Amino acid sequence: MAFQKKKILVIDDDETLLATTRELLRREGYDVFTHKIAFGATSVIDIIKPDLVLLDINMPGLAGDRLAYLLRSNEMTKDAPIIFFSSNDEDTLRRAVSVNKVRGYIPKGNFFELRRKIQHYLLTSE
């Protein structure tokens, strides 16, 4: 059986962050997909079937924590492996994880921590 790259979907309204994160994670060997807005994320997740979804909380129109709630309520995406990827403080992120029943969070800004936590979440999902 051939090795299949893990698929990561990054949902964030910041185009620079999307491009940087995509490039960094591709260098780590992941297939990386990006989506710039919360709207349409359900369809993207259903099509791609990512191994991990990195979801920003602070987005215009539909905040990521609200999107996570909607994804959990949808039969097609209720099991999507969502991780909040945000610049919010860690107390706020911990509460958001608990309330929205997502797997965890990764603070933005530290690539080493991003890489380490992605490996952790991917290993614990197998």
Residues 83-121: pLDDT tens digits?
Answer: 999 999 999 999 999 999 899 999 998 888 899 999 999
Residues 25-78: pLDDT tens digits?
Answer: 999 999 999 999 999 999 999 999 999 999 999 999 999 999 999 999 999 899
Per domain, the residue ranges of the chain are 7-124
Q: What is the distance between the alpha carbons of residues 122 and 126, in angstroms, rounded to a whole number?
A: 7
Tokens of 5: 């790259």
Q: How many CB atoms lie within 10 A of CB 22?
A: 16
Q: Fold for domain 7-124?
A: Rossmann fold (3.40.50)
Q: What is the distance between the alpha carbons of residues 113 and 105, in angstroms, rounded to a whole number?
A: 11
